[in-house]
Amino acid sequence: MSARPNASSQQQAIERAIALYGETRPFIVADIGSQAGWLKAAGHHPRNLYLSGPMGLSPSVALGLALCRPQGQVLCVVGDGALAMNLSALATIQAAAPANLALLVIANHIYEFTASLPTPTGRLDWVALGRAMFGEAASFDLADMTAERWSAAPRPAFLVAETAPSGKPPPLGLSPAQIRAEFLAASRREAPV
């Protein structure tokens, strides 16, 4: 499967997904590499957690965050190649059923951060996979989503953005220690009472 004609870039898809939340920005967990770089390019915020380390862990980390912060919305931004490395996280998310978690799958069908090699899931229908895991009412193509429809969607929710290859993402310009400190400070400011 290849990107649609006139498909958006990763940055545009991330911006569009964030806009669905309106005034209340969710905590956002982005996978290592492209998704972290394009999330920062879409708008750096202390609520962004840019992961480093093994690919595919953002759904697991986002689940932990959603369970620890049940009053706040959490969005996981993960590439199709990265999610393929941790598909079992979807079963865990489905079983835990956090009412505040959504996943945005960036489906560009390549490992963009590492030489743009094709992913083995290039022909996978990600929306259908989301429907199988989370139900018909909770899995969507980002291109069809409106803020009103998004606010009414059950969680956990699964958004898929078919994107065009975007090239090498901009560098984060932040060390893991800086990312951790900013995110912890934002999280503590909003700690439940």
User: CA 173, CA 184: separation in Å to the nearest integer?
Assistant: 18
The confidence score (pLDDT) of residue 115 equals: 64
Is residue 85 within 8 A of residue 53, CB to CB? The reply is no
Per residue in 34-72, pLDDT (tens digit) is 899 999 999 999 999 999 877 889 999 999 999 999 999
Give the pLDDT band of residue 180 (cuts 50, 70, 90).
very high
Distances (CA, A) of 165 to 37, 39, 75, 160, 168: 14, 15, 22, 15, 9
Per residue in 109-160, pLDDT (tens digit) is 777 766 677 777 778 899 999 999 999 999 999 999 999 999 999 999 999 9
User: CA 134, CA 10: separation in Å to the nearest integer?
Assistant: 24
For the cut 70, the answer to whether the pLDDT of residue 86 exceeds it is yes
Put residue 22 in one of left, alpha, beta given phi > 0 → left and psi -120 to 50 → alpha. left
Give which of 79, 48, 66, 85 is closest to 180, Cα–Cα.
Answer: 48
Give the pLDDT band of residue 193 (cuts 50, 70, 90).
very low
Structure tokens at 53: 């380390």
Is residue 157 within 8 A of residue 98, CB to CB? The reply is no
Is residue 106 within 8 A of residue 34, CB to CB? The reply is yes
